[in-house]
């Protein structure tokens, strides 16, 4: 079981922002921006390549709600997903990184 599945089950603690039946948003343990939240589906898909389009559509609505709660919806934010080895993906459970809370440098994650 990957670490995100353990977070979903409540076996590993997390700082939750929002949750519904399908998705969970929680703060990244090693933030790369003033606000750095991870958004995951509760059903495990390895990466973006595997994600069903209908789930991605509902996830978009959820993410906008998370951005609104965090107060960055209108100021702006960055949404990133790493895929595979070259993408630098560490955890094989699809997730978006939602970053914001200040002006982000485009090279800050390179
Ligand atoms: P990625 O490299 O795209 O797979 O991103 C994995 C992210 O998960 C990294 O930004 C880690 O800091 C984050 N992470 C790992 N373990 C935890 C945890 N227990 N709670 C919150 N974030 C975590």
Identify which of 28, 44, 92 to mutate to test ligand 1's pocket (most ligand atoms within 8 A of the CB).
28
Domain extent for 16 = 3-32+41-99
pLDDT tens track for 56-83: 999 999 999 999 999 999 999 999 999 9
Contact 4, 13 (CB under 8 A): no
Express as a percent the part of the chain with pLDDT over 90.
95
Q: Ligand 1 in contact with 3 (CB < 6 A)?
A: yes
**Per-residue confidence (pLDDT) for residue 107, from 0 to 100:** 78
Token duo for residue 25: 């948003």
- Find residue 100's DSSP bridge partners: 35, 77
Q: Is the pLDDT of residue 109 over 90?
A: no
Would 90 be classed as within a structural domain? yes
pLDDT in tens, 85-94: 999 999 999 9
- Answer yes or no: is 105 within a domain: no
Supply the pLDDT for residue 74. Answer: 98
DSSP string, 81-110: ---HHHHT--SSS--EEEEESSPPPTTTT-
Residue 94, in any domain of the structure: yes
Structural domain count, the chain: 1
**Is 84 a domain residue?**
yes
80 DSSP β-pair partners: 97
Tell me if 13 is assigned to some domain: yes
CATH number at residue 54: 3.30.428.10
């Amino acid at each position: 079981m990957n670490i995100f599945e353990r977070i979903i089950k409540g076996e590993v603690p997390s700082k939750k922002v929002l949750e519904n039946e399908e998705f969970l948003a929680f703060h990244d343990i090693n933030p790369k921006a003033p606000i750095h939240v991870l958004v995951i589906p509760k059903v495990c898909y390895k990466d973006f390549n595997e994600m069903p389009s209908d789930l991605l559509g509902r996830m978009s609505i959820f993410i906008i709600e998370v951005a609104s709660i965090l107060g960055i919806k209108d100021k702006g934010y960055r949404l990133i997903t790493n895929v595979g080895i070259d993408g630098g993906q560490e955890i094989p459970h699809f997730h978006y990184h939602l970053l914001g809370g200040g002006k982000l440098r485009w090279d800050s994650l390179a």
